Amino acid sequence: MRQKLAAGNWKMNGMGPALAELETLTKTHKKSACEILICPPATLLSRASEAVNGNPVAIGGQDCHANSSGAHTGDLSAEMLREAGATAVILGHSERRADHGESNKTVAAKTMAAWESGLIAVVCLGETLEERESGSTLKIVGTQLAASLPDGANGVNSVVAYEPVWAIGTGKVPTLEQIAEVHNFLRTELTSRFGEEIADSIRLLYGGSVKPGNAAEIFATSNVDGALVGGASLKAADFSPIIQALEAS
């Protein structure tokens, strides 16, 4: 049985005082029925890890370099994230793909680096509005899945997050039927590639304007094992109801 996961991506938000939100989450969800992951900016990783002390909230990074060290000014290796207290890392987010030109090959290399450092790779997929309207959604996410997730993926080292680019931070949300179509497709693709046992162990998260008001119905959708949440994860008052909806699903 896949354990449900509520993951929060703070993106380029959060200074020292934001750690109080983590402390609130820790107190509110001491015995959560699902896993909770917060990915703050790198400047807060060590302090965030100390603030949550491992349970029930885990800490993750938002990106890593494919190499373990070297002349890569401004980058962080997976080993560095691990040392700072991270247990997971988000890879291939659409903002990284768009802003930094990351290819599926780059994401796959980073995923391998994350595995080698003992981090869980949260590999992101998703189509643009143009791709959705052209009917190319399944082709796009299928290609991303095949090329971004290396051989060796399983439920211990990998999570797959479907985030339609056009829904991230826009308030627009696909219909439940559209979400189910993609998540069911991803499960089928995983099964074809890795076999039923491994495919059934890999969690599929939905991301894209998940809020307390729509979380319950999204979590009731086929093959949705949790969420990767952006803005609504910045405040415990907003993220807690999403966690509670996941716990109840």
Catalytic residues: 93, 163
3-state secondary structure of 175: coil
Residue found under tokens 């509670």: 244
Using CB atoms within 10 A of its CB, is residue 86 exposed (0-12), middle (13-18) or buried (19+)?
buried
Question: Helix, strand or coil for residue 184?
Answer: helix
Q: Are strands 120-125 and 158-162 parallel, antiparallel or unpaired?
A: parallel
Write down how long the chain is.
Answer: 249
Strands in the chain per DSSP E: 5-9, 35-39, 57-61, 88-91, 120-125, 158-162, 203-206, 226-229
- Tell me if residue 158 falls in helix, strand or coil: strand
Q: What is the DSSP-derived secondary structure letter of residue 171?
A: S
Q: Which two tokens stand for residue 24?
A: 């609130």
Contacts of 32 (CB under 8 A, 6+ apart): 56, 243, 247
Longest Cα–Cα distance in the chain: 47
Q: How far apart are CA 14 and CA 29, in angstroms?
A: 21
